[in-house]
């Protein structure tokens, strides 16, 4: 049989006081002397008493729980898996410090995500939510705004929406990668994107075009990976054009690693024939040969800042858009000057 939970009646009997005195002491309310309060707290500690989360919810009108919905169509075990693991680690670290729980739930699409948000808020399941991977026109954001539920979107919403957001320096990171390639002598630089409907992908696409033009270069080699297409396929097509690229910026580290493997099998010399830079450094970039140069940001720190901002929003702080992480470039074997 499971051991019975310790109640305030148990504490009252052991401390030889009334249950109301125990309630006053445990909730730090007036009505009991300091010496009696100390004795009650010592007895509660010796019995291993912990407050009931249900009772605490009634007392504070909060659940001390936040929600995060994952869309199964976004393949958390494929592209973006490394990002999700590191990000979630940061969120959990912050929440643990504040004794707040995380409800992680999977839904098949954004319509069901919206119904879940509505149900969670109506049933007082969560105090707020974190939303990942916003689209350029995301149907979840108007619902969250209408509900008035505290929420933080991981994406650059700027001031277009009445909802808080945390983003990374996608424009500066793009400029960093392109600038380094230009310094090495590259003039035909390609970009391979993933998921053109995503807000961050659109920001990076436009940043790529703007940065290339600032360097006096044509941004004509910018493509998106089609569903179920091997990442080396669109790069091989670009390499067969009259003016092929000598470098490529790829939007995901796993995709970059798979591209390097596929291009190597096809006989492409990396970095002699093509330099490769991936986005979001991971252990895979160090394990493949040649090792892959990558843009690196503190994703775990991004998770911490996201959770902190959500907790502040729950406490009543105003809507805020903040930069949660900056980016640097980790140079490895896949980066070199273009061949003469």
Q: In what order do the strands lie in the sheet with 189-194?
A: 222-225, 189-194, 247-250, 275-279, 293-297, 327-330
Q: Does the residue 290 lie in any domain?
A: yes
Residue 286 and residue 320 in one domain: no
- Tokens 């702080």 locate to 317
User: Based on the structure, what is the number of domains in the chain?
Assistant: 3
CATH classification of the domain holding 33 = 1.10.260.40
User: Is residue 240 situated within a structural domain?
Assistant: yes
Q: Poorest-confidence range of 69-78, 175-184, 223-232, 248-257?
A: 69-78
Each residue of 148-193: pLDDT tens digit? 999 999 988 876 778 899 988 999 999 999 999 999 999 999 999 9
For residue 198, the 8-state DSSP code is B
Token pair of 106 as six digits: 């999977």
Tokens 């380094």 belong to which residue?
Answer: 180
Between CA 148 and CA 184 the distance in angstroms is 50
Q: Could you tell me the CATH number of the domain that includes residue 245? A: 3.40.50.2300
Shared domain check, 319 and 280: no
Most confident range, picked from 71-80, 138-147, 319-328 = 138-147
pLDDT at position 102: 94
Domain match, 212 and 121 both:
no
3 within some domain:
no
Asked whether residue 56 is domain-assigned, the answer is no
Backbone region of residue 119 per phi and psi (left: phi > 0; alpha: psi in -120 to 50; beta: other values): alpha
Question: What pLDDT was estimated at residue 150?
Answer: 94
Domain that holds residue 188: 170-297
**Per-state percent for the chain, helix, strand, coil, to nearest 5:** 45, 20, 35
- What's the pTM value of the predicted model, to 2 decimals? 0.79
Q: Are residues 186 and 289 in the same domain?
A: yes
Residue 197 lies in a domain: yes
Residue at 117 is within a domain: yes
Do 187 and 257 belong together in one domain? yes
Mean confidence (pLDDT) of the chain: 89
**Please, what sign has the CA dihedral across residues 69, 75, 80, 81?**
positive
284 and 219, same structural domain? yes
305 and 262 part of one domain: no
- Residue 333 maps to a domain: no
Check whether residue 163 and residue 304 sit in a common domain: yes
Same domain, 160 and 79: yes
Q: Is the confidence at residue 77, as pLDDT, over 50?
A: no
332 falls within a domain = no
* Arithmetic mean of pLDDT, 214-242: 93
In the structure, how many helices (H) and strands (E) does the chain have?
13, 12
Please check whether residues 18 and 132 belong to one and the same domain. Answer: no
Mean pLDDT computed over 197-212 = 94
pLDDT band at 58 (very low <50, low <70, confident <90, very high): very low
189 and 293 both lie in a single domain: yes
- 215 and 69 within one domain: no
Closest CA relative to residue 256, chosen from 212, 287, 300, 216: 287
């Amino acid at each position: 049989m499971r051991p019975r939970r310790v109640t305030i009646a148990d504490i009252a009997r052991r401390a030889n006081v009334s249950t109301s005195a125990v309630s006053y002491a445990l909730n730090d309310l007036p009505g009991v002397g300091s010496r009696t309060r100390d004795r009650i707290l010592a007895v509660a500690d010796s019995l291993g008493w912990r407050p009931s989360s249900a009772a605490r919810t009634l007392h504070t009108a909060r659940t001390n729980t936040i929600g995060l919905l994952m869309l199964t169509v976004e393949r958390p075990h494929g592209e973006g898996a490394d990002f999700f693991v590191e990000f979630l680690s940061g969120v959990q670290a912050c929440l643990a410090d504040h004794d707040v729980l995380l409800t992680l739930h999977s839904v098949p699409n954004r319509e069901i995500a919206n119904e879940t948000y509505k149900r969670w808020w109506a049933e007082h399941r969560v105090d707020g939510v974190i939303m990942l991977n916003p689209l350029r026109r995301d149907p979840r954001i108007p619902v969250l705004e209408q509900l008035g539920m505290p929420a933080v979107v991981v994406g650059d919403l700027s001031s277009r929406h009445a909802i808080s957001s945390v983003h990374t320096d996608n424009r500066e990171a793009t400029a960093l990668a392109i600038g380094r390639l230009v310094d090495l002598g590259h003039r035909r630089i390609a970009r391979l994107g993933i998921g053109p409907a995503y807000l961050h992908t659109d920001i990076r696409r436009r940043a790529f075009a703007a940065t290339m033009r600032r360097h006096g270069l044509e941004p004509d080699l910018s493509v998106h990976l089609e569903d179920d297409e091997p990442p080396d396929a669109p790069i091989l097509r670009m390499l067969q054009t009259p003016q092929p690229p000598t470098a490529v910026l790829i939007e995901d580290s796993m995709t970059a690693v798979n591209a390097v493997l596929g291009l190597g099998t096809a006989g492409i010399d990396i970095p002699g024939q093509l330099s490769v830079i991936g986005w979001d450094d991971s252990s895979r970039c160090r394990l493949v040969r040649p090792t892959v140069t990558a843009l690196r940001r503190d994703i775990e720190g991004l998770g911490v800042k996201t959770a902190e901002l959500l907790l502040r929003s729950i406490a009543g702080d105003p809507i805020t858009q903040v930069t949660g992480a900056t980016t640097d470039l980790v140079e490895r074997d896949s980066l070199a000057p273009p061949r003469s």
